[in-house]
Structure formats: C-alpha cells, structure tokens
C-alpha cells in the first residue's frame, strides 16, 4: 500500500530538514549525522513508494536495500556516539561506517537479481536481490550494533532523569523500525512499511517532546542554565540535543 511509504518519506524529509537546520546553526556533528541518516531513511521509503505506485526495478530495489536496510541505523548511532562517547570513539565508528557503506554499495551493485521474484505479487522487489554472505554480514553487524547504541543511549539518558518520556519514545520508535525489518525477515513483508511509518513517526514525536521540554526549561524563571555549548555535549540520544539548540538566545 503506497500511503504508508509516502507518509514515512514525508515525515523523514521534514525531520531531516529540521535537524539539518540545527547543524547549520550550531555546527555540532551529531546533528549532521542524524540529518544524513534521516535522509537515507527517506530515500529508502521513497523507493518503496515508487515501487508501490509503479514497479520494482533493479535500481529501486538495490537503492532501497542499501539506504533503508543496511546503513541507516549505523548513521543514527553515529550521532548518538558523538554525544555519549569520547570523540575518538565516534570517529572510529565514522571511519567504520564509511568503509562498510562503500562495501555495501559495492556488493549490492554487483549482486544478481531474480527477475521473476522482482515482479512477484507476494513479496517486495528487494527480496529479488541475491544477498550474498558479505551483504548479510554487513547488514546484521550495522543494524545490531547500531540499534544497541541508539536504544542504550536513550536508556542511559532516561535513567539519568533527563527527558525521560522523550527518550523512551525515541527508543520505542527505533525498536519499531527494527521490528519492521525483523518481521520482513520472518516472511511478513506486509508489515514492513507500516512499521517504518510508525517508527519514524514515533521518533519524530519524541523529538517534538524534547523541543517542548527544552523551551519550557529555558523559559523557566528559576532555571538559569539556558542553552550552552556544554549542553550540546551532554549525553543525550537522537533529537534531544537538537531540541536543546532549537531556539538559541542569540536549531
């Protein structure tokens, strides 16, 4: 059904634009990593939308698989590491993501396509890709470690008592997206676009919650902390620090 991938594409595009604005104003690398990840997510769901209203092609299938299934979670995790971990750790993960992304593009571009499966009415066209062992290994490694970093970061910040509801909401959205991929792997591909739409919408809701909470804290007469570069470097997961800088006093 085309409505779900279209909705996911629109939400992720808007979400990516807002976070990119934070980067342009504050120049914090976490914002750039998140904005790029959300762009990749939208690229993947836009491929799903194009296939829903038209037909799967080898290019659409392979673009969807690389952007939407293989690397997006890794770049979301990169933003979390820029906030939670020492800079050296984030840079190591960035280097690893660059190498793995290049390998992902290389192996998927060279992968064969089952023409009959590409146009099958019973499964999404990307399943026609001949997913070799290197492709599967890259996807599993990035998604497993990336999800652990994102959810772990959200949980850590929630335990510390900062933006508890927002962090839980963001972690839930991440799990919904991951769960959609798992359902596809279990043969229930019809739930993939629904799960992706629900996941990105819940993550965006968590982002809006952090914006409201950050504004309330800045406007509080008894709170003299305001917004500072130190806040930007605090241990918060995706979107939380973007909200911290959404309306600086001078996103």
Give the pLDDT of residue 109. 96
Give the pLDDT of residue 183. 55
The yes-or-no verdict on residue 41 having pLDDT over 70 is yes
Give the pLDDT of residue 173. 83
Q: Quick check: 243 and 21 in contact, CB under 8 A?
A: no
Q: Write the CATH number for 68.
A: 1.20.1070
What per-residue string of b and e applies to 38-72 under the rule 16 or more CB within 10 Å gives b?
A: bbbbbbbbbbbbbbbeeebbbebbbbbbbbbbbbb
Is 185 contained in some domain?
A: yes
Domains: count for the chain: 1
The yes-or-no verdict on residue 231 having pLDDT over 80 is no
Query: Could you give the CA distance from residue 85 to residue 232 in angstroms, rounded to a whole number?
Result: 13
Give the pLDDT of residue 29. 93
The yes-or-no verdict on residue 202 having pLDDT over 80 is yes
Range with the largest mean pLDDT of 109-113, 145-149, 203-207, 243-247: 109-113
What's the mean per-residue pLDDT of the chain?
Answer: 79
At 72-127, the pLDDT tens digits run 989 989 988 998 889 999 999 999 999 999 999 999 999 999 988 888 877 788 88
Domain extent, residue 130, equals 3-218+226-244
Closest Cα to residue 134, out of 175, 99, 184, 181?
Answer: 99
Report the share of the chain in percent with pLDDT over 70: 78
Give the pLDDT of residue 227. 32
Give the pLDDT of residue 100. 97
In whole angstroms, how far apart are CA 106 and each of 109, 111, 136, 246?
Answer: 5, 9, 13, 38
At 140-174, the pLDDT tens digits run 899 889 988 988 887 787 777 666 777 778 778 87
Query: Could you give the CA distance from residue 179 to residue 145 in angstroms, rounded to a whole number?
Result: 15
Is 250 contained in some domain?
A: no
**DSSP single-letter state for residue 126:** G
Is 249 contained in some domain?
A: no
Is 13 contained in some domain?
A: yes
Give the pLDDT of residue 164. 74
Give the pLDDT of residue 248. 31
Q: Quick check: 118 and 130 in contact, CB under 8 A?
A: no
Give the pLDDT of residue 238. 42
Is 162 contained in some domain?
A: yes
Residues 202-208 have a mean pLDDT of: 82
What are 57's two structure tokens? 């092609």
> pLDDT confidence of 185, banded at 50, 70, 90?
low
36-50, 94-108, 181-195, 237-251: range with lowest mean pLDDT: 237-251
Give the pLDDT of residue 232. 38
At 56-77, the pLDDT tens digits run 999 999 999 999 889 998 998 9
The yes-or-no verdict on residue 55 having pLDDT over 70 is yes
In whole angstroms, how far apart are CA 109 and each of 103, 104, 219, 237?
Answer: 10, 8, 51, 33
Is 251 contained in some domain?
A: no
Is 170 contained in some domain?
A: yes
Is 204 contained in some domain?
A: yes
């Amino acid at each position: 059904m085309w409505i779900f991938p279209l909705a996911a594409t629109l939400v992720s595009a808007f979400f990516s634009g807002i976070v990119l604005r934070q980067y342009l104003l504050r120049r914090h690398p976490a914002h750039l990593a998140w904005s790029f990840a959300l762009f990749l997510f939208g690229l993947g769901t836009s491929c799903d939308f194009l296939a829903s209203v038209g037909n799967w092609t080898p290019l659409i299938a392979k673009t969807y698989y690389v952007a939407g299934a293989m690397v997006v979670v890794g770049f979301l995790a990169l933003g979390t590491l820029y906030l939670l971990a020492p800079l050296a750790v984030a840079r190591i993960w960035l280097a690893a993501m660059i190498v793995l992304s290049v390998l992902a593009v290389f192996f998927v571009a060279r992968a064969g396509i089952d023409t009959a499966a590409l146009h099958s009415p019973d499964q999404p066209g990307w399943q026609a890709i001949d997913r070799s062992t290197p492709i599967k290994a890259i996807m599993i490694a990035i998604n497993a470690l990336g999800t652990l970093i994102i959810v772990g970061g959200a949980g850590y910040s929630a335990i510390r008592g900062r933006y508890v509801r927002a962090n839980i909401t963001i972690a839930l959205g991440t799990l919904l997206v991951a769960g959609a991929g798992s359902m596809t792997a279990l043969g229930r591909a019809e739930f993939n676009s629904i799960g992706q739409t629900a996941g990105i919408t819940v993550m965006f809701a968590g982002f809006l919650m952090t914006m409201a909470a950050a504004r309330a804290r800045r406007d509080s007469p008894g709170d003299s902390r305001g917004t500072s570069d130190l806040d930007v470097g605090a241990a918060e997961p995706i979107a939380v620090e973007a909200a911290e800088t959404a309306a600086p006093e001078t996103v």
